Chains A and B, each alone.
Chain A
């Protein structure tokens, strides 16, 4: 009953034209950004965080979480139509979506993606509400040692689940943590690594760093491989999937929604992994596995339901514990900070209308995604066809306005460009950028909680506190397991190399 009352408070905060307009704007921006190849959900949210600064915290966070949710559906549009996923997670949607377009059934592909996204997104939000609230109630008793361990666990899972070179992912995290050390020490108050520059006394501003690493770096990377290629989009067949076809794939939608939500809850797993796993599970349990990859509606539904439901899952650790579960969550954490809010258990006590307002807005956003998707797809497709030569300069100007607007400082703009160059360089040599951002965002939490715990109880606190110890052990295993795996792979490579020679 308590939860229902709180949800009513949440829905009550949406009454009025402003929140509804914000949700619609968020859904439209999210779908468009998701549909543009090269603009990931984290890029889109990072670019728009600064513009939420003048809004009330409630409206700002409703806008940003709605964009986050809608980008996951938007990614499917170009995946289905031109075999170019708008978001990394939509790569799985393209496996069956594009063959449908080639068969002249683009409308069925987009329609299935839309319905599966809406159902998946709704299930994700329901699980978010059911999980986040009790978790927040438990987390209110956590001490500094527990928080340090949890934040470390968050970083560990992000590193371990990063594809490619695990050591580079770890170095990326450490670079982020090191950047976070610049500025006034939060406990002793002395200036660290600012080289006498008073603009660095507060460290680098978070928002310009996020925009630089996520958005500006994309433009620079694109410039390096510039071919002048422009997207040309097919006309969409208007035939949507029938009710019978949707009912036939209901199992895949429900199963994938649950898988996506559960995977989303684990920090670092993210929507891409959720989509691949759900697709694989659906293929194995399908009556027609031979159709997967050839234009199966079940395949499209599995991918889309799981990547949309993972959003709700990923918001669980962010809202309940203050630990970002994905790169976009890290950006959202930055948005909370911009509005002087700290997500976590206390927020449920101090600002319930805000937390439950976000839950309610996400439910309403799913309905708008369905409506706008049904009636607005043709328009979205036209907008998405904007040439890269126009799109990328506009991203840069948006990045400049965004980084300037945080503190009205051109130093922030310069640091945004600097972070853009850094992001481009890191990506070029195979270092993922998302762990850098997580390092920057979680750095303060890790340092202050570690030092507070040690100051209060000494270094042995991490052995005495059971929860902290358990989480630390899991975190160490999460760090060590992929390292061991890579070491074994390296050994096998070396053996194969010496055998050849």
Chain B
């Protein structure tokens, strides 16, 4: 087994992934502390894409070798992706890239993502209807809407609409969570 094949599966692959993550973290750390920190996203996005491509190329070494086999297209895609990402990095180095857009309310956005992720997690336990009701109440409030009667009626109305249209009419088997025992 060649070195490339060893690195394309099992512990070898884990080593490649760990090395890639470490390299990306270190790059991000160094960029944040350098004069090019206003190009953080312009550098980190191509670097991350390149890292994934390189990982995919390593994995292709474990594929059977044949003409027009399963490795050909992924390797071609990875080659072109890495090439174009390097051009993007070159443009940053030459001062041709635009600096990153100013940071918006990233914390607020992450809170919305977190609430949405929590909603997905809750669906499994409490079922679609209850978790959707709670999700709508919480998110509308977080987004700054303060008319309680409207919030309640929208959340309740949406749950009833979902039940009638999605569950009953379109027969979408929405998850019921612990309510399943009562059905």
Contact = CB atoms under 8 A, between A and B. Distances in A.
Interface of A: 51, 53-54, 167-168, 170-171, 174-175, 177-178, 181, 185, 187-188, 190, 192-193, 216, 219-220, 223-226, 228, 387-390, 392-394, 396-397, 400-401, 404-405, 408, 410, 413-414, 417, 421, 424-426, 428-431, 446-447, 450-451, 454-455, 490, 493-494, 497
A177 B77 contact: yes
B70 A401 contact: no
B125 to A, nearest CB: 11
Given A167-B87, A174-B80, A187 B70 contact: yes
Contacts, number: 175
A115 to B, nearest CB: 33
B128 A223 contact: no
Contact of A429 (B42, B80, B144): B42
A494 B94 contact: yes
Contacts of B108: 223-224, 226
- Dominant SS among interface residues on chain A: helix
A429 B44 CA distance: 10
Interface centre among A397, A421, A447, A454 (most CB of B within 10 A): A397
A433 to B, nearest CB: 13
30 contacts: A171-B49, A171-B84, A171-B85, A174-B81, A174-B84, A175-B81, A178-B53, A178-B81, A188-B66, A193-B59, A219-B112, A220-B109, A223-B109, A223-B111, A228-B143, A387-B145, A393-B135, A394-B136, A394-B154, A396-B119, A397-B158, A400-B123, A408-B173, A410-B124, A413-B120, A417-B116, A429-B42, A429-B45, A450-B73, A494-B94
Given A51-B170, A223-B109, A417-B117, A410 B84 contact: no
B91 interface: yes
Contacts of A181: 56, 73-74, 77
A190 B80 CA distance: 24
B107 to A, nearest CB: 10
Contact of A226 (B68, B143, B170): B143
Contacts of B172: 51, 53-54, 401, 404-405
Interface in B127-170: 128, 132, 135-136, 139-140, 143-145, 150, 154, 158, 162, 166, 170
Contacts of B145: 387, 389-390
Contacts of A177: 73, 77
A424 B111 CA distance: 14
B49 A167 contact: no
A494 B97 CA distance: 11
A494 B66 CA distance: 46
A450 B76 CA distance: 12
Given A393-B135, A397-B135, A185 B70 contact: yes
B45 A414 contact: no
Contacts of B66: 188
A454 B67 contact: yes
Q: Which of B66, B80, B95 has the most CB of A within 10 A?
A: B80
B120 A410 contact: yes
B170 A178 contact: no
A475 B62 CA distance: 32
Contacts of B42: 429
A392 B113 CA distance: 12
B106 interface: yes
B171 interface: yes
Contacts of A175: 49, 81
A174 B80 CA distance: 8
Contact of B59 (A51, A192, A430, A494): A192
Nearest to A188: B70
Nearest to A51: B170
Contacts of B98: 430
B70 A190 contact: yes
A185 B60 CA distance: 12
A400 B120 contact: yes
A357 to B, nearest CB: 21
A167 B45 CA distance: 13
A219 B112 CA distance: 9
A185 B174 CA distance: 31
B126 interface: no
A54 B174 CA distance: 14
A229 to B, nearest CB: 10
A20 to B, nearest CB: 18
Given A178-B52, A178-B74, A188 B69 contact: yes
B65 to A, nearest CB: 11
**Residue among B77, B85, B91, B113 facing the most chain A CB atoms (10 A cut-off):** B77
B70 A171 contact: no
A147 to B, nearest CB: 15
A187 B64 CA distance: 12
Contacts of A410: 120, 123-124, 175
A192 B62 CA distance: 10
Nearest to B17: A195
A223 B105 contact: yes
B67 A396 contact: no
Nearest to B143: A389
Contact of B41 (A223, A392, A429, A490): A429
Contacts of B59: 192-193
Contacts of A430: 98
A390 B166 contact: no
B112 A54 contact: no
